[in-house]
Structure 1
C-alpha cells in the first residue's frame, strides 16, 4: 500500500490561559523543529489541561486537515487564529487527507511510530473561546470537519518533514465521515448504531455512546460539552 502524506507540521503546546473567563487549555499548539518522542499517551512535549476529557491512550494524537482552513476562513473572516495551522489544537497538519478518506482502524506509520485511527473529534466549548465565536464548537460538529484521533500501537520518534504513511486498513467501511453521520445526522439509525457498538477498532467511549442510544432510544444531551453549561443553563 503506497499511501503517504507529507506532514506539514508536527505541533505541541503547553497549558495556558484561554479567553477572559479564566479557562485554561493546551489548544495553543506550535510547530516543533526537533525530533519528538511519540508515546502511548501522545507527543512527549505536548500537554492537556483536563485529562478527564482530553488526551489518554485513545486520544493520544489529534490530526486536523489543513484542507479545511480555507472553508473556515470564508465562514469566519478576520480570525487571526486561522492564519496558520494549530488553530484547532491539532498535533498533525496535512493536506490531501480528510474525513471521507480516513477510516477508524486505519494504521499509519509516523516516523518510527505506528498509529491507528481511534475516533473522530467531539468538539468542546473551549473552541468558542479560542475562536471568539459563541457557537464554534457546534459549527465544527455540524460541519463534519472535525478531524480525528490516533492511538499509538508502537512508540517511536517523529521529525519535522516526516511522512504519514498508511500501511493497513482494518475497517475501511467505517470512515470518520460515516461515524460522524451516524452520531450527528442519522442519530437513531439503530442498525448503524448496533454495528458501531460492536466495532472493535472504535474507541470504547464511542461504542458506549452507541449502546446507550440503543438502550434509551434517545440521543444524549450535548449542551455541556458544546457550551460549558447544562441544558437548563444554556
Structure 2
C-alpha cells in the first residue's frame, strides 16, 4: 500500500494550518486481554492552549519512555491521511466509533494540513505566530494504537502506508489554537520522516 502523494511543492513554499488541537489525560485503555494507562484518546480542545518544553497544557503521556519528553513533546498528524484510515476501518468492518473517525483519533496533538512525511525533514521547524516546533522523529505504532483503531492489522497498515505522522520538539514555547497557520523553515535536510520511518520499520521486520 502506498502513502498518499505529497501535497507540498518544496520547503520554501510549504505552509499549512492546524485543523484540530487535541488533548488527553492518561486513562485506562482496554487493549486485548489487558487494561493499561494511555493518553492516546485525544479529544479536540477549544481556545488557545499554552505550549511549554514538555508539550501542551492539559495533555499527558502514560509512558514517558515511549511518548513525550523534550524530543517528543508534541505529536502531529497530516489531516490528508484521514480518508485513507476511514477506508481501512471500513474494510476491516469497524462499525463502532465511526463517529470518532475524526481528528484526534490517531492520538495526535496537532492535526495539520500541508505537510506529509516525505516533505517533513528532521530538524525542519514549523514556525507559528506564537510558537516554534522542530520536527524530531517519526511515530511508531504499538498495541495501544490498534486498540483505539479497532482492528489488529492497524499497526501493519501504518507501516505499509508510511502514514506515521511526526513528533515535534518545542523550539520556542508559546501557545497554539485551531486555525493557526505555520510556515516550514528547512533544517539541514539530511533525512526525512518518511525515510527514517521506512528504514527503521524495515530493520525491525
Normalising to structure 2: TM-score of the pair?
A: 0.84
Q: Which blocks of at least 5 consecutive residues in structure 2 are unaligned?
A: 1-11
Which structure dedicates a bigger proportion of its chain to helix?
A: 1
Highest relative contact order (Cα 8 Å, sep 6+), 1 or 2? 2
Between the aligned partners of 2:21 and 2:129, the Cα distance in structure 1 is: 11
Between the aligned partners of 1:161 and 1:14, the Cα distance in structure 2 is: 23
Which structure dedicates a bigger proportion of its chain to strand?
A: 2
1:133 to 151, 174, 178: 151
Between the aligned partners of 1:22 and 1:107, the Cα distance in structure 2 is: 37
Q: CA RMSD in A?
A: 1.8
Specify the SS of the correspondent of 1:76.
helix
* Corresponding position of 2:161: 143
* Corresponding position of 1:83: 101
Q: CA deviation at 1:173?
A: 4.3
Matched, 1:175 2:192: yes
Between the aligned partners of 1:95 and 1:154, the Cα distance in structure 2 is: 21
Matched, 1:118 2:136: yes
Larger radius of gyration: 1
Q: 2:120–2:193: 8 Å Cα contact kept in structure 1?
A: yes
Between the aligned partners of 1:96 and 1:115, the Cα distance in structure 2 is: 15
Specify the SS of the correspondent of 1:64.
strand
Q: Which runs of 4+ in 1 moved over 3 A?
A: none
Between the aligned partners of 2:174 and 2:53, the Cα distance in structure 1 is: 10
* Corresponding position of 1:6: 17
Specify the SS of the correspondent of 1:59.
coil
Q: CA deviation at 1:125?
A: 1.2
Between the aligned partners of 1:59 and 1:120, the Cα distance in structure 2 is: 9
* Number of residues of Structure 1 aligned to a counterpart in Structure 2: 187
Q: CA deviation at 1:109?
A: 1.5
Q: Which blocks of at least 5 consecutive residues in structure 1 are unaligned?
A: 188-218, 223-234
